[in-house]
Structure 1
Amino acid sequence: MNQTRKSPVIRPGPGQVWNQSSSSTSNSNSNSNSGSASIYVLPRNQPVQEEKSSIFGAIARVLTCSGNIAHVAEDDAQPPSIQYSSRASLRSSRKLNHSSSSTPSKASDGPQGTAELSFEDISKATGNFSASNIIGQGGFGIVYKATLKNGSIIAVKRAKKDNFERGTPVEFRNEIQTLSKIEHLNLVRFYGYIEHGEDRMILVEYVANGTLREHLDGKCGSGLEIGERLDIMIDVAHAITYLHTYTDLPIIHRDIKSSNILITDKLRAKVADFGFARISVEDPGATHISTQVKGTAGYLDPEYLSTYQLTDRSDVYSFGVLLVEMVTGRLPIEINKATNEKLTTKWALQRLKGGEVVLAMDPKLRRNPAALMVVEKVLKLARQCLAPTRQLRPSMKRCAEILWRVRKDYHEYNEVMEAANHSVQVPPQMAARKNRIEFFGIEESTNQRFQSA
């Protein structure tokens, strides 16, 4: 057909907003021109209302969360009992309420508070994909910071075009499929994606404060103290527990590592990068998934490596490596260390076994009884997670519960020590004045002041 078509515009139905829990749908057509773009949205219960013009055209448009997309409350406390909604309740509702404050805020333009984005909009928002807006990169592609015209900030993950023939589209579709099914305070939020010609882009939440690895290396922030690291451990444990237990089908992340943990301005954690994630089969009797090994050296479950059998306990193993990394500050594999220190987990657990926990502590951490107590208990949990067989490893829910108890003990210990110090401590100036009188017989006055030699 040669008739002129208007550029497509997708508008939400009445009251419709973004829903990350819904499966993504593709408005595509086998007869569309090769240069046209595919449009993808995440509907709620109402179908997308189309204009009379065709949905196909040269411009891809996606809906974004309205308003200041990056704004999510980070301080919603979770109870120590680690209560979540049941999986059945998630199946019965299209909307996942992980936080009462995580609903989209209003945008400055667009119908019914939503902004319509085209490929050109994203190009402008990233400064034509300027190097100055690059905030991360990996095997899949490059991640850009994008400032929309209404002031909202998002992250745009753009696939490398030269990798298409080597399987990148598989990871691209896999990440979209996973992100569209999940929503949790400690997981990066998904807003949509664009396929335009040879471009593949995923639009996700922008988290401004770097990765956990950058914080451990001192490249971001002013250094994480043990209490802050404990909070991050618990956030990650909650996120993985949700993936394993409270989604419609269990999801195995397969790439839990410090560079995939994003840190917010309030020093809370959000798990990102679902390119390797695997959704479990629906067979309730299945004990594992047989699949090609994927992941990152140093974090990979050795049982998975040898058997090609993937289970949720493979994520538990990676989490154990992460725990050791967080209390030691070291990379999982330290190629420049001595032979007996190259594998950080083995070296740290030997220090634990020998009662030398203080030697395993990150040099950036302050040494005090409370911090030593935390490091010892975290290493003991890591030892369970790093068990050689999956049957000996705890579930992620159990890991979260143990870490909650460690954090409670840490705060109680600090409160006791603070109270003890406050009850016996004499202000420094009063103590110095008392010593001068008792030992030197000198009283200070306006005419005479004691000066040390």
Structure 2
Amino acid sequence: MAALLFCLLLFVQISRFFASGLEVKSKICGSDHLAYSNPFGHELFYLNGNLVDKVLFCKALQLHYANHCLFEGYTGTDYCGLDLSSADVSMGRRKLLQEPKKKDEPDHDPEAKRHSASTKVGIVVSGIFLTCCVFICPCVYRKKRGTAPTVLKKDPNSSDSTSPFDMNVHAPPEKVPPSPSVFSISPNVNRTGTVHLTMEQLTRATHNFSPALQIDEGDFGTVYKAQLDSGQMVAIKRAKKEQFENLQTEFSNEVELLAKIDHRNLVRLLGYVDKGNERLIITEYVPNGTLRDHLDGHRGKILDFNQRLEIAIDVAHGLTYLHHYAEKQIIHRDVKSSNILLTESMRAKVADFGFARLGPMDSDQTHISTKVKGTVGYLDPEYMKTYQLNTKSDVYSFGILLIEILTGRRPVDLRRPVEERVTLRWAFLKFNEGHAVELADRMMEEVVDEDILVKMFALAFQCAAPVRNDRPEMKSVGEELWVIRADYLKSLRRG
């Protein structure tokens, strides 16, 4: 405590001394605290209280700007290459320009002569920060170590109707600290932490896995909703025991990869069971069912166009995080409407990571080789032909999903006439004939501007191109959807 007070007093005195040239601007975007100052013409950049270089600061700034969080307090000359025209900012449009200032370009700033003095200021401030860390961090570390959660021992009273349970529910594996160039784009939202429960508690929460609490059934197993003693609602996915050996890989994949991700458009892992004859995954409960349920009209009110567009943007954000900003690149491999869950406010979360794979470990690699897994209708044809998987396979699946969102039709529907059974082929032919409006889901009551529909379908077909080199990156897809959203809002004002 004494060291902390010392650092604070020292910082106050130095701050007063340099008050005329050390005005700090700050902004909280998502889970990151950005700060910037320009004392005596020398720029200083901070991320979560740490002094960082401009490259690192700009990567964070670009990422949060892509998530429509604008740091207006940053007065740098080129705003890290971002286009901040008033029209683009107001409509949420995002452009990343790759034109950094050349190193040899002469500096005509009249404040340049103060560079030496400002450098000293930066050194002093950095020294204060490091001094505080030396005194404070060991104390904080000892305190955190002393309060770290421990794994519960086996509950001797746990049992079920056939055999005693011999396991615990674990918290997700500890995450490896991300590299400095990786940032979470999740906003600060109210979320519960990991759970530490006995099997007896899980059995009680699900009323002994009652069919009345079942909310989904898949290849992996059955999903139940459950309310814990704390009142927290969770989803519990229980593996099918008769397929236990075959599902072991999928279970391990999902636990390992879910533990590494944290984004508002991805379902969050809370705990798991992996022992004896039980395999269970515990995730946050998303109450509003799947996207496919809503497209089928099983949830009452039909999705309007704006909701469908926002859902598409949410899914694009989640996949962009997996491909570009996660600790390690992740390929979902099973993007489909039944794996998109909706919250009460109709925000989308990508779920089910049983088929997910880590992307290439070497930056020189363009793909990984693996046997084909996924769902018929959403599978990348080039992946099926070559067994070569990369992020463009998710882009293809997203293209099919986007067509599904717009038309309401499943990718393959054997109940349709022969010429309409494969939705992609049917939609592409109708689109080329100039009948984009006829492709829109007839269950939507509103009339959507034809230009907007044309842009949406054109983007979907580009994503679903048969050759992956013709497909855009997921990040670019998300940016284009924001442009379409801005155009859609303009069309509403005109109407």
Same fold at TM > 0.5:
yes
Partner Cα distance (1:254, 1:229) in 2: 22
**Distance between the aligned counterparts of 1:190 and 1:124, measured in 2?**
20
The percentage of counterpart residues that share the same residue type is 45
**Residue 98 of structure 1: which of 186, 190, 208 is its match?**
186
What is the one-letter code of the residue matched to 2:357? R
Aligned to 1:67: none
> C-alpha separation between the residues in 2 aligned to 1:297 and 1:223?
26
The answer for unaligned runs of 5 or more in structure 2 is: 1-142, 157-165
Higher helix fraction: Structure 1 or Structure 2? 2
**1:211 alignment partner, one of 271, 290, 301:** 290
Deviation at 1:180, TM superposition (A): 0.6
* Distance in 2 of aligned mates of 1:350 and 1:213: 24
Correspondence 1:335 to 2:414: yes
Q: Choose which of 217, 220, 233 in structure 2 pairs with 1:140.
A: 220
Are the counterparts in 2 of residues 313 and 390 from structure 1 also a CA contact under 8 Å?
A: yes
Displacement of 1:335 after TM fit?
0.6
* 2:165 aligned with 1:60: no
Q: Specify the SS of the correspondent of 1:135.
A: strand
Offset at residue 416 of structure 1 (A): 2.1
In 1, are the aligned partners of 2:455 and 2:484 still within 8 Å (CA)?
A: yes
1:6-405 matches, cutoff 5 A: 46=145, 58-63=166-171, 90-92=178-180, 96=184, 98-104=186-192, 116-165=196-245, 167-370=246-449, 372-405=450-483
2 CA distance for matches of 1:231 and 1:361?
A: 16
The equivalent of 1:410 in structure 2 is 488
Structure 1 residues 156 and 95: CA distance shift in structure 2, 3 A: farther
Shift of 1:197: 2.0
Shift of 1:151: 0.9
Larger RCO (CA under 8 A, 6+ residues apart): 1
Q: Deviations over 1:195-224 (max 9, x none)?
A: 242011111010000100000000014000
In 2, distance between residues paired with 1:379 and 1:277?
27
Deviations 1:392-438 (A, max 9, x none): 00000011011101111111110122xxxxxxxxxxxxxxxxxxxxx
Mapped to 1, the partners of 2:307 and 2:152 lie a distance apart of 53
Given that residues 174 and 275 in structure 1 are in contact (C-alpha distance below 8 angstroms), is that contact kept between their aligned partners in structure 2?
Answer: yes
SS at match of 2:179: helix
Q: Which runs of 5+ in 1 are unaligned?
A: 1-43, 65-87, 106-113, 418-453
Alpha-carbon distance in 2 for matches of 1:373, 1:349: 16
Aligned pairs, number:
341
What is the Cα deviation at residue 103 of structure 1? 4.3
Deviation at 1:99, TM superposition (A): 1.4
2:122 maps to which residue? none
> What is the one-letter code of the residue matched to 2:299?
C
Q: CA deviation at 1:256?
A: 0.3
Residue 169 of structure 2 contacts residue 197 of structure 2 at CA under 8 Å; is this kept in 1? yes
| 1:47/1:177 CA distance change after superposition, 3 Å | farther
Residue by residue over 1:43-98, the C-alpha shift from the partner in whole angstroms, topping out at 9 and shown as x without a partner, is x984885879978984414359xxxxxxxxxxxxxxxxxxxxxxx99424999461
Asked if structure 2 preserves the Cα contact closer than 8 Å seen for 1:316 and 1:394, the reply is yes
What is the TM-score with the length of structure 2 in the denominator? 0.65
Residue in structure 1 matched with residue 107 of structure 2 by the alignment: none
Give, in angstroms, the shift of residue 293 of structure 1: 0.2
- Per the normalisation by structure 1, the TM-score is 0.71
How many Å apart are 1:349 and its aligned residue? 1.4
- Segment drifting more, 91-100 vs 282-291: 91-100
Secondary structure, aligned partner of 1:91: coil
Distance 1:277 1:187 in 2: 13
Instruction: Evaluate the alpha carbon distance shift between residue 270 and residue 129 of structure 1 in structure 2; reply closer, same or farther with a 3 A threshold.
Output: same
Q: What is the RMSD computed on CA atoms of the aligned residues?
A: 2.6
Letter in 2 for 1:104: T
| CA distance, structure 2, for counterparts of residue 115 and residue 261 of structure 1 | 24
